[in-house]
Amino acid sequence: MKQSQSVKGKNLKSQSQQGLAKNQSPEKRVKQQNSVNPQFQQQQLQQQQQLQYNLQQQQQQLQQQLSQQQMNPQQQIIQSQINGQPNPYEAPSTHYSFKSNNNTNTNISYEEYTGGESVKVALRVRPMNNLERSRGDEYCVKCSGDSIQLNLKGQQKNYKFNYVLDENTSQSECFLNCNVGELLESALDGYSATIFAYGQTGSGKTYTMAGVEEKLGREVYISDETEGIIPRAVRYLWQAMAQREEQFYVKASFTEIYNEQIRDLLNPASGILHCRWNVKNGFFVEDLMIVECTNVDDMIAVLHEGMKNRKTGAHELNKDSSRSHSILTVYLISELVSGEQTMKRYGKLSFVDLAGSERLKESKSHGDMIKETGNINKSLFTLGKVIQSLSDKKAKMPYVPYRDSKLTMLLMDSLGGTAKALMIACISPSGVYYDETLSTMNYAARTMNIKNKPVVQMDQKDQIIYNLQREIDLLRMENKYLREQLQRVSNGLPIEVPDFLSPSQKPKNLPPLTKNPKMSTSRPISNDGQQMEIPINKIVQEYQFELNRIKNENEELRNAREVAEKNYHVVMNNNNALQIKLENIERVFIGNPANKGDINKEKMSEEYMASALMLENTELKKRITELEQKNIELSSIIKKNLNGATNSSPEDLWEMMQIKQQNQQLQQRVEFLQAREKDLLNDLMRLQKESNRKY
Ligand SMILES: Nc1ncnc2c1ncn2[C@@H]1O[C@H](COP(=O)(O)OP(=O)(O)OP(=O)(O)O)[C@@H](O)[C@H]1O
């Protein structure tokens, strides 16, 4: 791979400059006209002055626009707050109402309050494959414009997406129809943009993102119509960079998440890498190889290398690539020199090929496989939870569990962050996969509700503050959630919920680098009553301080939750043991455990049991009377026999002995039955007492 060299763009004039040139031409024309008539000259002069005035006005407007464009978004937001103007990054609104700082009610919509741009979603149907055709699978989808109908056995479901691509859509049409070019232009303008493919195994994610996997992994890569979004994007980027004035530096990295472990696909020898957080980058992969690319071939080489290593790694780990998530990141750093000033922008493009979204129950679920599918699903499951929380329009400050998986930590900026995002949901048209397709469509439909707030990444200081602010917000939400969880778990359990909100530790109002109007009150007021600017270093310090405080709180809460969970398990185990004991007792004394919990049935069961016992009692009494009767008879026979014993034959004696033995046994039996009768009577009395107490 070649070493870094910048890619220089052609010196084309920007549109605004071209516009100015056009505006100047009439002025020049007027100057050049030199009439002899003084009246005409006077008219000309007036016209010229008017034109000059108009031009000055236009220039002023343009300069204002230009300086506004040069202000970074955070500064624009602050400026608009100072000027009492609407936030330039918020959408127009109609229906949400909240109290602003100056205590006046402002009617704005929730959309406006949260602002942002929806994540775009494309749904792509791949053609049926040979197996599906040979089985004669039924088609379960019908595309029409931006709508798609899912049909099976009379059931119908209709969906609308930003883009719907049927099975006849070629790779180039996919690139064009999903407006990938627009996203790439945004990345060149300094935005972060993410394209991610979602869907069950074999639904066409890799084909859509990269192309035919086998071709990309070959030693010699030959470009053809089957190539996917990434190689097309690479070519597009270099063409677009050549058209721009700025100087671009392009870098790339390629990572894989498998089993919740991150690997570097450009440097597999580095082993398992860690996901870290810092103020400069937010979440990032530590020690990741980032390669500088100077031309299309370098970039294609990165793609090829990554795909090859993904395959080799898969072989060594006894898996296939469909069980891992891969992220190719392209960093686009641009520099525009204007006079003495250099404007830097940090655009970023992420191409994400997710693991197959099939559910755990369909995976082989034993041994390591459970851990693996669990972890793959942990990332996808967490992604689902993140999408669910972010798309919940009712929740104003939802807890978004980004930190629960590596994938969501690394995609944090693309979902609900400052990036622009496109999701391509891939499906098979076969009715055999109806359930998976339905699940993918629901997932995709939910994703369309997510709003991002794209921001141009210009000044690294702003990025630092943004990262700090986002981390603080996330941790605050997480802490609130943890505290609620703890409170719930601790109900009835001896768990101490840490008291973080003692007066000295109340969350601080941070300086206003956010659209959140609640925060702008913390700006200091100068003697003349104006709100003062706070030095950036001081702001960073305050944010860092608050972040550390919340992090400590988070750690303590997590520890407390761990203790609570352990206690909870102990209590649950005890509960289970007690439950089993109770069921056994009930089985003996109350009857059928199925009646448990139903008061009527329990009462009936007890009454039934009592009458059954009484019946048994009567039976026993009858039996005892019979036995006693028999006993008396036997005793008289014995007596009679004993009286005439002198004449008795040996047989008579033998019979007599036998009868005596029987008599003894009967006496024992009577004693036993009498004892049993006593027990039963006791039971009966206890039951009756219990029954009286209960009802
Ligand atoms: N739109 C399409 N047109 C033609 N062939 C396609 C299309 N989509 C997918 N295929 C083919 O279907 C097969 C499976 O596609 P692919 O490997 O992209 O699926 P996947 O979703 O990435 O699966 P996995 O999750 O296992 O990685 C491949 O042979 C691919 O070439």
Higher pLDDT, 557 or 222: 557
Nearest atom in ligand 1 to the alpha carbon of residue 353 is 22
Higher pLDDT, 384 or 365: 384
CA of 427 to the centre of ligand 1 (A): 10
d(CA 438, CA 58): 55
d(CA 333, CA 348): 8
Nearest to 412 by CA among 388, 386, 392: 386
Nearest CA to ligand 1 atom 14: 202
The greatest distance separating any two alpha carbons of the chain, rounded to the nearest whole angstrom, comes to 180
Residue 385 has pLDDT above 70, yes or no: yes
Region of 15 please: left (phi>0), alpha (psi -120 to 50) or beta. Answer: alpha
Tokens of 34: 């030199």
Which tens digit of pLDDT belongs to each residue from 311-344?
665 655 555 556 789 999 999 999 888 777 777 8
Tell me if residue 330 falls in helix, strand or coil: strand
- Assess whether the C-beta atom of 463 lies below 6 angstroms from ligand 1: no
Contact 191, 150 (CB under 8 A): no
Residue 37 has pLDDT above 60, yes or no: no
- Assess whether the C-beta atom of 357 lies below 6 angstroms from ligand 1: no
- Assess whether the C-beta atom of 212 lies below 6 angstroms from ligand 1: yes
d(CA 425, CA 125): 9
CA of 203 to the centre of ligand 1 (A): 5
Which tens digit of pLDDT belongs to each residue from 518-547?
333 344 445 555 545 556 667 777 777 777
d(CA 282, CA 501): 27
- Assess whether the C-beta atom of 207 lies below 6 angstroms from ligand 1: yes
| Mean pLDDT confidence for 498-504 | 43
Nearest CA to ligand 1 atom 9: 204
Which tens digit of pLDDT belongs to each residue from 504-514?
444 555 555 44
Contact 121, 447 (CB under 8 A): yes
Nearest atom in ligand 1 to the alpha carbon of residue 212 is 31
Which residues fall within 8 angstroms of residue 270, CB to CB, at 6 or more apart?
A: 263, 264, 287, 289
Average pLDDT, the chain: 70
- Assess whether the C-beta atom of 209 lies below 6 angstroms from ligand 1: no
Contact 237, 306 (CB under 8 A): no
- The 8-class DSSP code of residue 595 comes to G
pLDDT number for residue 13: 31
pLDDT number for residue 316: 59
| Mean pLDDT confidence for 657-684 | 71
Which tens digit of pLDDT belongs to each residue from 418-452?
788 899 999 999 999 998 999 999 989 988 888 77
Nearest CA to ligand 1 atom 10: 204
- Assess whether the C-beta atom of 203 lies below 6 angstroms from ligand 1: yes
Residue 176 has pLDDT above 90, yes or no: yes
Q: Which of 80-94, 301-315, 339-353 has the highest mean pLDDT?
A: 339-353
pLDDT number for residue 81: 40
- Which one of 169, 175, 196, 207 would you pick to mutate in the ligand 1 pocket, going by the greatest count of ligand atoms within 8 A of its CB? 207
| Mean pLDDT confidence for 17-27 | 34
Higher pLDDT, 44 or 152: 152
- Assess whether the C-beta atom of 127 lies below 6 angstroms from ligand 1: yes
Which tens digit of pLDDT belongs to each residue from 539-587?
777 777 777 777 777 777 777 777 777 776 777 777 777 776 666 655 5
Predicted confidence band of residue 134 (pLDDT cuts 50, 70, 90): very high
- Assess whether the C-beta atom of 206 lies below 6 angstroms from ligand 1: yes
pLDDT number for residue 244: 92
CA of 255 to the centre of ligand 1 (A): 21
- Which one of 124, 126, 229, 423 would you pick to mutate in the ligand 1 pocket, going by the greatest count of ligand atoms within 8 A of its CB? 126
Nearest atom in ligand 1 to the alpha carbon of residue 356 is 25
pLDDT number for residue 256: 93
Nearest CA to ligand 1 atom 23: 202
Contact 115, 515 (CB under 8 A): yes
Q: What are phi and psi of 648, to 5 degrees?
A: -75, 140
Tell me if residue 653 falls in helix, strand or coil: helix
- Assess whether the C-beta atom of 321 lies below 6 angstroms from ligand 1: yes
Which tens digit of pLDDT belongs to each residue from 186-199?
999 888 899 999 99
Which tens digit of pLDDT belongs to each residue from 57-73?
555 555 454 444 444 44
Whether this model's pTM surpasses 0.90: no
Which tens digit of pLDDT belongs to each residue from 282-317?
788 999 999 999 999 999 999 988 988 886 656 555
Nearest atom in ligand 1 to the alpha carbon of residue 426 is 21
Residue 497 has pLDDT above 90, yes or no: no
pLDDT number for residue 158: 93
Binding-site entries for ATP? 199-206
Contact 248, 9 (CB under 8 A): yes
ipTM of the complex: 0.98
pLDDT number for residue 514: 40
